[in-house]
């Protein structure tokens, strides 16, 4: 850049700062335990409604006198911003779905949900979701979190000495949580934005998907191969080609002529099914869904009052205006007949919304609706431009979808996956990290991406294992699956035109490794399900950074290869080189024959002082895995350990009225004997009937000592060997 240009840009930056007007804080109030709400003067809910908070916070007292973290609000050319100055030595995390490293110091992300196929692993690429949230961890292990409560198009910059949130819209509220630990901060985040609902057990199994399994026959072949080869799997997914000309809520008359029979057959083999539904509705006067939406006046409108149309998979499409309650109710109602065909779950995709505008001159392409479009609003939401509602479009869509799924099957827990979302949208849908690439860079990136989503309030997430775009080698697949099975959401997926990416597609060696990896996940389902129970209560992530083991250990702060599954299982992927690991007792954990010698498997370690519940090897979750139950026990230095197991029906809402059992176990070493017993039990479910036998494996100094017993008698394991 020459001197003349440098002078121009310096002057432009100076003038932008100079003309920014500082806005005083009109109100600051305590709205929770060490949670403070800051409202700038001139804030107007009709210009920046909250689509993030689960409910309106209530003031509970004054801001503590020693409260140090306070935002400075500014406005410049009707664009609001907030700045928070930081002391030295803060490690920053969060921002939701982002590329780049786990540690976010010195990073900038643009919050504008965008269809980003084969996205770069480097920092700065816009992705599918917006999470205006930052968590900071001080050197002493105390932590804070900041919510910028705005869905306007924005940029989030996390410098080591300052956090900046700059929007292209109106003033907004800011919430700051300041507590004793990162875990306590995330519990505060959950108090504000809510937690996930307890998912159905089957959704924690392995999922197999392809864009697309083109016929019912091919779906049956894939399902039958899983069963004949005894490779565990719970779910088969149907991408867009099951539809009739990509018309949502329809089925291809030739390739999917009888979805009811297909779903019934899959159910009999222990499979559930998930089908994709996009937001774009084909403009076709012979198409009932389009006619119904037009009659109900639910479409997004141009500013002249005509229906907005954009190109999507079917061609010219209209799009429901999900800001409007009438449109959301109409959309919800479409699921009743659709799910009546035996469909178990729904996948809402391309809901940024993604618009194919390649026919326009390059300078006019945005990949989405024009920002000037005014959404209708209604109820608690005001009318407003797409610049305000774009980042919330997918979030509002999944709210409507979830309601429709529950209305259609009120006695079942819904499973809904979304590509686009907003901070707080975990209340409605799980997510995945979008259209990744079959590459080692994306394999490695998938770990910090999923951890960061968990640190941003979305615990139910994971990547397309093996990579979605381009061909996947057997080495890449086996390495990715080897640790991907320990991520909260485990799905293999492949793009059209790429090679087959089922576990048996790479030859006998990789098939054997795939089986081992999936059997390991299924053995740990009792533990994983218990972690989902915990996250539904607390908001703590299922997949966590290793620094959660010791927030004061600075060498763990930027570890992004290894991760924690819950609090007590450490996962070290096969690709990891010299990972920073927490101190203390961590014993090697073997779950399946061959898992310690197979080069593709992640190493598992169990934390000293913990008891991990594990089940037997099963092929799907219709086979209950608690007969027998295995307790994996790793005593601490004092010879004691504890752990929990949560059990319910695996589906339905009975757990809300007491049909569950929360079992707490403890273990104590006395001489050469470890005594393991049931310490307490909560809930009305009869665990004694469900768990007939318990095996125990006690891990001490690299050795395994075994014993057996029951819930009533307990277990005594002798170490005298």
- Please state whether beta strands 464-465 and 490-492 pair in parallel, antiparallel, or not at all (unpaired): parallel
Is-contact 375 397, C-beta < 8 A? no
CB atoms within 10 A of CB 236: 24
Cα pseudo-dihedral 421, 425, 430, 436, rounded to 10: 20
Is-contact 81 425, C-beta < 8 A? no
Across the chain, how many H-helices and E-strands are there? 13, 41
Is-contact 465 492, C-beta < 8 A? yes
Q: Tokens standing for 3?
A: 């001197």
Told to judge if 560 belongs to the known catalytic residues of this protein, a careful annotator would answer: no
Would you say how long the chain is, in residues?
721
Distance of alpha carbon 612 from alpha carbon 606, whole angstroms: 8
Is-contact 477 506, C-beta < 8 A? yes
DSSP per-residue string spanning 57-114: ----BPPPTT-----EEEEETTEEEEEEE--SS-EEEE-SS--S-SS-TTEEEEE---
Measured in whole angstroms, the distance separating CA 662 from the mean position of its chain's CA atoms is: 25
**H-only helix segments in 256-300:** 259-268, 288-295
Distance of alpha carbon 382 from alpha carbon 398, whole angstroms: 19
Which among 349, 399, 559, 560 is annotated as catalytic? 349
φ and ψ of 186, to 5 deg: -65, -30
The closest alpha carbon to 346, from 216, 242, 193, 215, belongs to: 242
The closest alpha carbon to 631, from 604, 666, 592, 670, belongs to: 666
Is-contact 535 196, C-beta < 8 A? yes
- Please state whether beta strands 660-670 and 673-682 pair in parallel, antiparallel, or not at all (unpaired): antiparallel
Told to judge if 352 belongs to the known catalytic residues of this protein, a careful annotator would answer: yes
Q: What is the DSSP letter of 313?
A: T
439 strand-pairing partners: none
Distance of alpha carbon 608 from alpha carbon 643, whole angstroms: 11
Distance of alpha carbon 719 from alpha carbon 612, whole angstroms: 19
Distance of alpha carbon 536 from alpha carbon 195, whole angstroms: 5
Distance of alpha carbon 220 from alpha carbon 261, whole angstroms: 11
Which among 234, 435, 519, 595 is annotated as catalytic? 435
The closest alpha carbon to 164, from 235, 231, 108, belongs to: 108
Which among 97, 352, 399, 464 is annotated as catalytic? 352
Catalytic site positions: 349, 352, 435
């Amino acid at each position: 850049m020459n001197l003349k240009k440098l002078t121009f840009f310096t002057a432009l930056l100076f003038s932008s700062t100079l003309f920014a007007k500082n806005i005083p804080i009109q109100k600051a109030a305590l709205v929770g335990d060490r949670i403070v709400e800051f409202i700038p003067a001139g804030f107007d809910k009709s210009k920046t409604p909250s689509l993030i908070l689960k409910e309106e916070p209530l003031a509970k007292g004054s801001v503590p006198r020693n409260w140090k973290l306070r935002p400075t609000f500014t406005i410049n050319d009707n664009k609001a911003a907030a700045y928070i100055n930081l002391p030295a030595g803060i490690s920053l995390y969060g921002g939701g779905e982002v590329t780049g490293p786990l540690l976010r110091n010195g990073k900038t992300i643009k919050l504008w949900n965008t269809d980003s196929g084969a996205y770069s692993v480097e920092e700065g690429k816009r992705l599918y979701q917006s999470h205006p949230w930052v968590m900071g961890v001080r050197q002493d292990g105390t932590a804070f979190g900041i919510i910028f409560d705005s869905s306007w198009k924005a940029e989030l910059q996390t410098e080591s000495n300052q956090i900046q949130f700059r929007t292209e819209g109106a003033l907004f509220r800011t919430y700051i949580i300041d507590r004793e630990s990162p875990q306590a901060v995330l519990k505060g985040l959950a108090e504000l934005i809510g937690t996930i609902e307890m998912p159905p057990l089957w959704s924690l199994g392995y999922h197999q998907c392809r864009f697309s399994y083109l016929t019912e026959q091919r779906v049956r072949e894939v399902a039958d191969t899983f069963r004949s080869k005894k490779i565990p799997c719970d779910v088969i997914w149907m991408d867009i080609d099951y539809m009739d000309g990509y018309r949502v809520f329809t089925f291809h008359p030739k390739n999917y002529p009888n979805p009811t029979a297909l779903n019934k057959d899959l159910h009999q083999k222990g499979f559930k099914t998930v089908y994709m539904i996009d937001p774009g509705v084909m403009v076709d006067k012979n198409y009932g869904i389009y006619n119904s939406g037009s009659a109900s006046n639910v479409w997004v409108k141009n500013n002249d009052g005509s229906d907005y149309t954009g190109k999507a998979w079917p061609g010219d499409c209209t799009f429901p205006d999900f800001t409007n309650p009438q449109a959301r109710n109409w959309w919800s109602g479409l699921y009743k007949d659709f799910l009546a065909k035996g469909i178990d779950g729904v996948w809402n995709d391309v809901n940024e919304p993604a618009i194919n505008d390649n026919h326009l001159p390059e300078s006019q392409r945005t990949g989405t609706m024009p920002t000037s479009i005014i959404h209708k609003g209604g109820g608690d939401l005001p009318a407003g431009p797409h610049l305000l509602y774009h980042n919330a479009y997918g979030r509002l869509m999944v709210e409507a979808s979830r309601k429709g799924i529950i209305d259609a099957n009120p006695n079942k827990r819904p499973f809904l996956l979304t590509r686009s979302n907003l901070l707080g949208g975990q209340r409605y849908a799980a997510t995945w990290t979008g259209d990744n690439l079959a590459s080692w860079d994306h394999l490695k990136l998938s770990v910090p991406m999923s951890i960061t989503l968990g640190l941003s309030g979305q615990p139910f997430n994971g990547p397309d294992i093996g990579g979605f775009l381009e061909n996947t080698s057997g080495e890449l697949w086996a390495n990715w699956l080897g640790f991907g099975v320990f991520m909260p959401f485990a799905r293999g997926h492949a793009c059209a035109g790429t090679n087959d990416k089922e576990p048996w597609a790479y030859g006998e060696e990789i098939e054997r490794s795939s089986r081992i990896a999936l059997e390991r996940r299924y053995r740990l389902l009792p533990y994983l399900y218990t972690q989902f129970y915990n996250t539904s209560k607390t908001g703590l992530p299922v997949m966590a950074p290793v620094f959660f083991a010791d927030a004061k250990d600075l060498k763990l702060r930027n570890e992004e290869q290894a991760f924690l599954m819950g609090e007590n299982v450490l996962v070290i992927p096969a690709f990891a080189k010299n990972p920073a690991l927490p101190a203390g007792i961590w014993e090697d954990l073997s779950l399946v024959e061959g898992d310690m010698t197979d080069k593709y498997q992640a190493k598992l370690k169990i934390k000293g002082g913990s008891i991990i519940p594990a089940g037997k090897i099963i092929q799907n979750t219709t086979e209950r895995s608690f007969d027998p139950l295995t307790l994996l026990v790793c005593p601490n230095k004092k010879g004691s350990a504890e752990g929990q197991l949560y059990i319910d029906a695996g589906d339905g809402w009975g757990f809300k009225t007491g049909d569950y059992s929360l079992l707490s176990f403890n273990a104590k070493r006395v001489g050469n004997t470890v005594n393991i017993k049931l310490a307490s039990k909560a809930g009305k479910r009869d665990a004694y009937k469900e768990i007939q036998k318990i095996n125990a494996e006690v891990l001490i100094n690299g050795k395994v000592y075994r014993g057996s017993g029951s819930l009533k008698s307990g277990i005594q394991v002798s170490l005298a060997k």
